[in-house]
Amino acid sequence: MAEGRKSLASDEPPAAEHAVVELQDVGVDLKAAREAPANRSSSSFMPKPKVPMHLAFNDVCCYVPAMFQIPGFVSTVKKVAEACASRVSGKREVAPERQILHSITGVVNPGEVVAIMGPSGSGKTTFVSLLAGRNHARHTGEILYNDQHKPTDKAFKRQLGFVSQEDIMFEGLTVFETLYYTAVLRLPRAMTDKDKRERVSIILEVLGIAHVKDSIIGGFRVGRRGISGGEKKRVAIGQELLYNPSVILLDEPTSGLDSTTALNLIHTLHTLAQVGNRTIVTTIHQPSSRIYQMLDKLLLMGQGHLLFYGDASAATDYFATIGYTMPYGMNPADYFLDVASGWSGEPKEEAGNLNATDPELKALLGAIAEKPYSRQSSRQRDIELASSYASTKEVFGHKWRSVKQGEDGQEGGELLGPRYHTQVYVICIRSLKERRFERFSSDSLFTVFFMAILCGILWFQAGVGASLATYVGAGDVAALLFFLVTFLSFNILFSSIFTFPNEKNMLLKEREAGMYPISAFFFGRTMADIPLDTLIPVTVTTIIYVMTGLKPTVEAFLLTMMVVLITCFTAGSLGLLIGAAFLNLKRAQSVATILMLTIMLTGGFFVRDIPVWLSWISYLSYIQYAWDALINIHLKGRVPECQDNACDDSLLAQVKYDDVGVQFGILMLMLTVLRFAVYLSLRFGAKSR
């Protein structure tokens, strides 16, 4: 079978397409690569990882809370109360837990592709994310790379390539942009921009996605179809390959792909493992027989139990020896999934939902315990390889330390990430590009310009001097000014609340990979907001200003613009804060609606006599200050003088401050406080899953 596997792998047609030719260094001549002989015609050149990684996991068990923990304030208070009660009573209550992984043990050598297989819910994702240090559930046992590095070690974790099940990418970027920005944020600062671009081009070639490099990723949020699912998966793998990791861990890379695309993908992984001596572990749902033959090792799981771990080619024979003989002609992967699911060939109501008390699983575990897989050949190889890695362990250890601590000036310097200002700049540019579809979509542009024109028609020339001669006319202009700040600021508030919940997964993924500090993300996003939150308000205000005939002086126009912009930035910050604080779109939307209506109602236009005990809320309403400032700019000294308290009831009587500077100052203060609060929410709220 092993022979068969080899020949099949070497005969594969995609080999020519996705072949990987290793080079010792980064500086690779891409042109030469493209002009290589026919059998390497479209082959690409990848640098080889410097340090091969040997992975050993021993007796790994994992536990999760047995009961669903309702997130939110009430359950947090309940938890704190219970903790206090148990502290007072001296009895430590342990929350009930469910064990989802049971003693998983094995070794993976460089150059091997290990497939984790098992029915749905058997623990594949949990296990692979533990190997990647991305799962924070309580677990016991040991996971070690090169006998010394734990995946939970922050600095080491960043060296592990991890491709999650869901494709976490910016939908509005092109394939090239996606890879290029990752390259700039992740590759050493010592590499030139040309080298980084070249590496992206190499990866595009290696993964066979060069032809879609200028297509956008696409998706629901940007309302555009982009590249296919298989191509997305390749981009996700490409993002990890960029920094040339020795270990690549993948969670269901083939799910949703047709069998040929899946085969191509596994073939690429196989080549990457063999040629680059990389260690590759992937979960896989239902591989075809051709894919199965390409796997080096199989780790079969059933309800968190290890059912088999060893050479994939030896699994059929092993199961036959313990009484599970595969029917002739069947795909071994299908058969092993049936065995792990407790499917005996007869329809069974709960097949696939085995638990350790099921007689089928008990019988299978009993048979395995009685006659464990000896792994003669592979165990021998594992031992040999393990000892060879042990002998080089010190070298790797030294290398790693020097990289980490920068002891070795040159190497440490080479591996330092991009400078802080580069991180901020790249995050800013990436955000601008990502949001170009969202903020300037035809739908949102139509909405704001339609409203601007409608507003101009309804209040047409209402601001000219003659219209202000009466209290009614002045009241109309006051209403127009209130509408102007309310409409523009709420428009921005509502689009800003989506920012962080939408980018939460990306932020968590990139933070786990240690690509930048949270402050770089915050400043990059803030800078990106400035042009995006400026262009539409400035245009809309100009249209309304001209159509409604507001005060025709340059000073009044510029002051109006400043008030509108500060108000929009304040509203945008409030939206970002709500989004960052909740990182959950539905909850953020509910909170934003409540806050928006409260701000509007207490803004001074709708309700003039707010109950005393609630009047403090009006001081928090940024609309109030913006409206007061605009009334001061446009109406002060232009409306008839009040005589005998005749205008006590008018809107103008509500203006609190006569000095526009004070209102500006308060708005600036609110903006600064809100921005700082956004930073704190991200800093302490955007924690790992």
The CB-of-309 to ligand ATP minimum distance in angstroms stands at 16
Query: How far is 689 from 133, CA to CA, in rounded Å?
Result: 12
Nearer residue to ligand ATP within complex by CB, 123 or 161: 123
Nearer residue to ligand ATP within complex by CB, 252 or 382: 252
End-to-end, the C-alpha distance of the chain in Å comes to 41
The CB-of-500 to ligand ATP minimum distance in angstroms stands at 22
Nearer residue to ligand ATP within complex by CB, 608 or 689: 689
Q: Which H or E run includes 89?
A: helix 73-89
* Helices vs. strands in the chain: H and E counts, helices first: 26, 11
The CB-of-682 to ligand ATP minimum distance in angstroms stands at 23
127, 55 Cβ separation under 8 angstroms: no
Which residue in this structure is represented by tokens 């790797």? 396
- CA–chain centroid gap for 440, Å, is 23
Closest residue by Cα to residue 52 from 380, 301, 389 = 389
Site for ligand ATP contains 110 (CB under 6 A): no
Site for ligand ATP contains 123 (CB under 6 A): yes
Closest residue by Cα to residue 248 from 256, 257, 258, 237 = 237
Q: Radius of gyration over alpha carbons of the chain, in Å?
A: 31
Per-residue b or e along 115-149, where b marks 16 or more CB atoms closer than 10 Å to that residue's CB = bbbbbebbbbbbbbbbbbbbbeeebeeebebbeeb
Nearer residue to ligand ATP within complex by CB, 129 or 201: 129
Site for ligand ATP contains 126 (CB under 6 A): yes
Nearer residue to ligand ATP within complex by CB, 252 or 296: 252
Q: Which of residues 137-156 bind ligand ATP (CB under 6 A)?
A: 137
Q: Which of residues 76-105 bind ligand ATP (CB under 6 A)?
A: 100
Which residue in this structure is represented by tokens 């837990």? 97
Q: Which H or E run includes 559?
A: helix 554-582
Q: Which H or E run includes 23?
A: strand 20-23
The CB-of-292 to ligand ATP minimum distance in angstroms stands at 17
Q: Which of residues 45-64 bind ligand ATP (CB under 6 A)?
A: 64
The CB-of-59 to ligand ATP minimum distance in angstroms stands at 18
Site for ligand ATP contains 508 (CB under 6 A): no
Nearer residue to ligand ATP within complex by CB, 120 or 447: 120
528, 428 Cβ separation under 8 angstroms: yes
Which residue in this structure is represented by tokens 């509005």? 172
The CB-of-66 to ligand ATP minimum distance in angstroms stands at 8
Size of interface with ligand ATP, in residues (CB under 6 A)? 11
Only segment of 106-114, 116-124, 526-534, 541-549 that touches ligand ATP (CB under 6 A): 116-124
Only segment of 117-125, 475-483, 537-545, 628-636 that touches ligand ATP (CB under 6 A): 117-125
Site for ligand ATP contains 355 (CB under 6 A): no
The CB-of-336 to ligand ATP minimum distance in angstroms stands at 14
Per-residue b or e along 296-306, where b marks 16 or more CB atoms closer than 10 Å to that residue's CB = bbbbbbbbbbb
The CB-of-416 to ligand ATP minimum distance in angstroms stands at 35
Query: How far is 247 from 253, CA to CA, in rounded Å?
Result: 15
Only segment of 114-122, 178-186, 256-264, 311-319 that touches ligand ATP (CB under 6 A): 114-122
**If phi over 0 gives left and psi between -120 and 50 gives alpha, with beta otherwise, what is residue 583?**
left
Task: Name the DSSP letter for residue 325.
Answer: P
The CB-of-352 to ligand ATP minimum distance in angstroms stands at 10
Nearer residue to ligand ATP within complex by CB, 340 or 678: 340
Nearer residue to ligand ATP within complex by CB, 171 or 251: 251
Nearer residue to ligand ATP within complex by CB, 86 or 120: 120
Nearer residue to ligand ATP within complex by CB, 69 or 289: 69
Burial class (CB in 10 A: 0-12, 13-18, 19+), 81: exposed
Q: Which H or E run includes 380?
A: helix 376-405
The CB-of-365 to ligand ATP minimum distance in angstroms stands at 17
Only segment of 8-16, 113-121, 543-551, 632-640 that touches ligand ATP (CB under 6 A): 113-121
- Strand, helix or coil at 88? helix
Among 49, 106, 110, 118, binds ligand ATP (CB under 6 A): 118
Nearer residue to ligand ATP within complex by CB, 125 or 486: 125
Burial class (CB in 10 A: 0-12, 13-18, 19+), 526: buried
Nearer residue to ligand ATP within complex by CB, 100 or 265: 100
Q: Which of residues 191-210 bind ligand ATP (CB under 6 A)?
A: none
Nearer residue to ligand ATP within complex by CB, 126 or 624: 126
Query: How far is 572 from 551, CA to CA, in rounded Å?
Result: 27
Nearer residue to ligand ATP within complex by CB, 135 or 261: 135
234, 206 Cβ separation under 8 angstroms: no
Among 43, 44, 109, 122, binds ligand ATP (CB under 6 A): 122
Among 120, 289, 355, 615, binds ligand ATP (CB under 6 A): 120
Closest residue by Cα to residue 569 from 621, 531, 518, 624 = 531
What is the biggest distance separating any 2 CA atoms in the chain, rounded to whole angstroms?
A: 106
Site for ligand ATP contains 131 (CB under 6 A): no
Only segment of 115-123, 263-271, 367-375, 380-388 that touches ligand ATP (CB under 6 A): 115-123
Nearer residue to ligand ATP within complex by CB, 120 or 615: 120
Nearer residue to ligand ATP within complex by CB, 64 or 275: 64
Among 9, 23, 42, 121, binds ligand ATP (CB under 6 A): 121
The CB-of-60 to ligand ATP minimum distance in angstroms stands at 13
241, 272 Cβ separation under 8 angstroms: yes
DSSP line for 18-84: H-EEEESSS---HHHHHT--GGGTT-EEEEPPSS---EEEEEEEEEEESS----SHHHHHHHHHHHH
Residue type (1 letter), 476: D
Only segment of 107-115, 119-127, 425-433, 484-492 that touches ligand ATP (CB under 6 A): 119-127
Per-residue b or e along 657-678, where b marks 16 or more CB atoms closer than 10 Å to that residue's CB = eeebeebbebbeebbeebbebb
**Residue 334: HSE in the Cβ half-sphere, 13 Å Cα cutoff:** 10
Residue 64's contacts (CB-CB under 8 Å, 6 or more residues apart) are 97, 98, 100, 137, 138
Nearer residue to ligand ATP within complex by CB, 314 or 340: 340
Only segment of 123-131, 221-229, 531-539, 586-594 that touches ligand ATP (CB under 6 A): 123-131
Site for ligand ATP contains 125 (CB under 6 A): yes
Footprint on this chain of ligand ATP (rule: CB under 6 A): 64, 100, 118, 120-126, 137
